[in-house]
Amino acid sequence: MEDTAATLAAELDRLLSMARELEARVDDDQGAPGAARELCAALAESVDRAMRLAGSSPRGGDGGGNAGTGRASASGQVKGGRKAAANKVRTQVRVASVMDAGPLNDGLSWRKYGQKDILGAAYPRAYFRCRHRHTQGCQATKQVQRAHADPLLFDVVYLGAHTCAQAAAVLAGPEQQPPAAFALEHQQSSPPEGIQWPVEPVTPPPFLSSPAGCYTPGSPWCELAGSYGYAAGGGLGADMEYAYDQFDEMFLNLPEVFQPDGPNL
DNA sequence: AGTATTTGACCACA
DNA sequence: TGTGGTCAAATACT
């Protein structure tokens, strides 16, 4: 056990270093996708290994204020069409909202369809689905829940792949650029997401931004101070959790995740 | 007037 | 049986 723990620690440390290097490179040299990709690949590999080492309980740690029910993971079945999301790609992201940051979102059009109090959670969970669900059959949904441990942190879970034209447009951006960056440039097209919280949660897509402090021991979340452009220095954090085997693919081929024939659909 | 959000109820799964 | 996810009518907002 201790051996594994030590290895895990080393892996995570390495991960942190790479992440920081990646940040530095991307930061001062935006035209170096090659180097960035290399690092991303190594990063993904390292994270994957670390996660495997962490044990067979991906959600066991239950980071921070997450209700941690853990029941939404792929259960397969789904009879009457409900709980269909359980079948889909699950991507968990932790973001920090920033005061006065305004109604930022990930550049995609979401429509809130429900909110529910979650057992053991201090704050309700909000349910969103793609606005083009009916017109284009886009099955993507997301769940947003404030972490009770830190009211400024929001746990965002993306379920399912975006198949709508808008998502395709967003993801067709330059060089795997995170949709969030796109969103920042197109905020005016982002309708407000009504969540009954004082601050609007920023919900970056599943893509590593820039690390500051990474991986909280005992938690499945990876703390990543964001430089998504949301609020530099404003205290943005973004965590992410992926199904182990999906991590690399999602990380390196983000657009595929949102495409009709994504890696896990 | 049209659209988005809220909220209670229903359904399915563990 | 309890809980989470979704639906749909009512309400609020632009």
pLDDT at A132: 82
For chain A, which residues make up each domain, given as ranges?
A: 60-66+76-257
Q: What is the pLDDT of residue A137?
A: 77
* pLDDT at A115 (0 to 100): 92
Which residues are within 7 Å of strand B by their Cβ atom? Answer: A 71, 75, 77-80, 82-83, 111-116, 126, 131, 191-196
Find the nucleotide nearest A86 (Cα to C1′).
C5
Residue A162 has pLDDT above 70, yes or no: yes
Instruction: Please state, rounded to an integer, the average pLDDT across all residues of chain A.
Output: 54
Distance A88 CA to B4 C1' (A): 26
For A216-237, what is each residue's pLDDT tens digit? 344 444 433 333 333 333 333 4
- A118 is near strand C: CB distance < 7 Å: yes
- Say if residues A237 and A63 touch (Cβ distance below 8 Å): no
Displacement of CA A77 from its chain's centroid (Å):
25
Single-letter amino acid, residue A250: M
Contact in structure between A97 and A199 (CB atoms under 8 Å): yes
Over chain A, what HEC string results?
A: CHHHHHHHHHHHHHHHHHHHHHHHHHHHCCCCHHHHHHHHHHHHHHHHHHHHHCCCCCCCCCCCCCCCCCCCCCCCCCCCCCCHHHHCCEEEEEEECCCCCCCCCCCCCEEEEEEECCCCCCCCEEEEEECCHHHHCCCCEEEEEECCCCCCEEEEEEECCCCCHHHHHHHCCHHHCCHHHHHHHCHHHCCCCCCCCCCCCCCCCCCCCCCCCCCCCCCCCCCCECCCCCCCCCCCEEEEEECHHHHHHHHHCHHHHCCCCCCCC
Asked whether residue A145, judged by its CB, lies under 7 Å from any atom of the DNA or RNA strand C, the reply is no
Q: Bigger pLDDT: A86 or A185?
A: A86
CA of A222 to C1' of C4 (A): 25
Sheet with A125-130, side-by-side order of all strands: A110-116, A125-130, A141-146, A153-159, A90-96, A238-242
Give A112 CA → B1 C1' in Å. 21
Residues 72-111 of A with CB under 7 A from strand C: 72, 81-85
Chain C positions within 7 A of any protein Cβ atom are: 2-8
Q: What is the pTM of this model?
A: 0.53
Task: Please say if the pLDDT value at position A86 is more than 80.
Answer: no
Using the structure, give the distance in angstroms from the CA atom of A164 to the C1' atom of B1, rounded to a whole number.
27
A75 closest-nt by C1' vs CA: B13
Query: Is any atom of nucleic acid chain C found less than 7 Å from the CB of residue A139?
Result: no
Residue-wise pLDDT for A24-56, tens only, equals: 555 455 454 555 555 555 555 555 555 445 443
Q: How far is the CA of A180 from the C1' of B5 (A)?
A: 24
